[in-house]
A = this chain, B = another copy of it.
Amino acid sequence: QEISDTKFGKGLLNFTAKDSSFSVKFAPRFQFRSFTTWNHDGEEYMDPEQNFLIRRARLKFDGFALTPKLVYKIELGLSNNDISGANQFTSNSPRYILDAVLKWHFHKNFELWAGQTKLPGNVERVISSASLQLIDRSIVNSRFNLDRDIGLQLHHKFKLGKKFVIKEKLAFSQGEGRNITSGSQGGMEYTGRIELLPFGEFLEKGDYFQADLEREPSPKLMLGAVYDINNDAVRTRSNLGSFMLLEDGTLYETDIQTFFLDAVFKYRGLSVMAEYAYRDAEDPIARIQGENQPAEYRVLEGQGINFQTAYLFKSNYEIAARYSRNDYSDIIEVDDVEQYTLGGSKYIVGHKLKIQADINYSKQAGIEDFISFRTGFEFHF
């Protein structure tokens, strides 16, 4: 096998060592975005603002080492959006590493993961940002998702009868998100996800990319449920959001639970994704204990729903629609938000080279907030 046997979209490098002692797929990628936004000032929409952005840029390495049973993944962020978030808990350094994880298939149907990677949270989050059918993920995901974290995961799957597949994923992690160098603050995080695939596996792992590019010849469904408990969590969105550093220099700690239900359905070019998210904290108001001060931070409690559907034409043009809504718990005094999105994609080389556009109508606390027109491309070896 020669290095140049790969083709565009299958990695810039993609080879197995002659002695089969490892394989590697190496892929750079980047996303270019143009945003045109009309903000609403309460009375009318104002003049549009025009922005350009390299939204994501990444280097990815994955493959096996020593044996096909030992799989590695290293993903590095390059864009300023990817690496931002430096603070005292990350040694005041940019967060360059997204994934650095080994996955060991140590026994039939069992995998042990060790390192930093995505937690087994809601499906929308775990789907790569390279494999979306709209310009970006929903507001439900952006406010409620469980992000990457560092620790251990145990994955298992089995078949029930001929087709029905069940997958269980457990994670034990530090609970403060990725690239923490200061050690665990507060307590640890525990995540469990179960997935039911009553009609069997999707083609080419199609439950974990958007758009029915495989045009599933028979209906495929994935139903998922996630429960996550972050003990003595110190950030406003469990392992994401602001660190709740109080004025007295201590970190506020409270248990945060997150719950998801999600579903993915694909059939002959049609794709549907639905999600429900719920989060609550033992005490969402962060302030110095015993004192009757105003809140310094508030855990983002509440619930969200997201529903999106799309149809892929045989020309590889797709139209997609999404409705998302976040209702926050009253006590934290954050405005509810709602968003309608209508988008189109042309998949030139699947998700590896595509042009996309969408229009978003957004409301906050029930009134007009902004309209944005977003367009851009994904370029992915």
**Chain A residues packing against B (C-beta within 8 Å):** 1-9, 12-13, 15-19, 21-22, 24, 26, 28, 30, 32, 35, 49-54, 57, 61, 65-66, 72, 74, 76, 78-81, 83-86, 90-97, 100, 102, 114-116, 150-151, 173-174, 179-181, 183-184, 188, 348-349, 353, 377, 379, 381
A4-B16, A49-B183, A188-B50 given; A78·B96 CB < 8 A: yes
Contact of A181 among B32, B81, B91, B114 (CB under 8 A): B81
Q: Cβ of A114 and Cβ of B54 under 8 Å apart?
A: no
Contact pick for A6, options B17, B26, B79, B179, CB 8 Å = B17
5 contacts between A and B (CB under 8 A): A49-B183, A52-B174, A65-B379, A79-B96, A80-B180
Contact between A94 and B94 (Cβ–Cβ < 8 Å)?
yes
Tell whether, in the assembled complex, residue A115 and residue B54 are in contact, meaning their CB atoms are under 8 Å apart.
Answer: yes
Q: Are A91 and B84 in contact (CB under 8 A)?
A: yes
Q: How far is the CB of A20 from chain B (nearest CB, A)?
A: 9
User: How near does chain B come to A186, taking the closest CB pair, in angstroms?
Assistant: 11
Considering the chains assembled together, what is the distance between the CA atoms of A183 and B57 in angstroms? 17
Q: Which of B9, B54, B93 contacts A80 (CB 8 A)?
A: B93
Q: Decide if A116 touches B2 in the complex (CB within 8 Å).
A: no
Which residues of B sit under 8 angstroms from A61, Cβ to Cβ? 12, 28
Q: Cβ of A100: which chain B residues have Cβ within 8 Å of it?
A: 30, 32, 54, 57, 79
Task: Please indicate the chain B residues that have their CB under 8 angstroms from the CB of A174 in the complex.
Answer: 50-52
A96, B114: Cβ atoms closer than 8 Å: no
From B13, B28, B76, B93, contact of A86 by CB (8 A): B93
Complex interface: chain B residues within 8 A of A151 (CB): 52
